[in-house]
Structure 1
Amino acid sequence: MKERNTIGIDMGDRKHCICILDHEGQVISRNTVGNTASAIRKAFKRQAPALIVIEAGTHSAMGKP
């Protein structure tokens, strides 16, 4: 079985937070990327095949009265 990285993406309105884990679960990269198709393409242009995990849900109510 080929060892793959896992990429977690927390989607945001303006920016997405990205965390990449190696096959052992160790963090190898954390960064943010703008919420545009060109920014996302550029961020993943040289990325090897990986398991992608995307946060799904509605906006948080925290901080709102």
Structure 2
Amino acid sequence: LIQESILTWDGFHAEVLKSPLQWQDGYIIPPTEPGLGVELDEKVLANYPYKGNKLHLEMAENPI
């Protein structure tokens, strides 16, 4: 169950997935293969290393 997602899943967000998400009428179609249906491309991710020193938790004024 996905309750939130990136609006268009293009650009960087599409590059990091080995297979694109399948959409129909505003819903993500479950994969037919075994597993969660999301496989990250680690070669692409290696080009975007995390450079911060904290997690991005600014949705709350005082994140836990």
TM-score normalised by length of structure 2 = 0.20
Greater RCO structure (CA 8 Å; 6+ sep): 1
TM-score normalised by length of structure 1 = 0.20
Q: Which has the larger radius of gyration?
A: 2
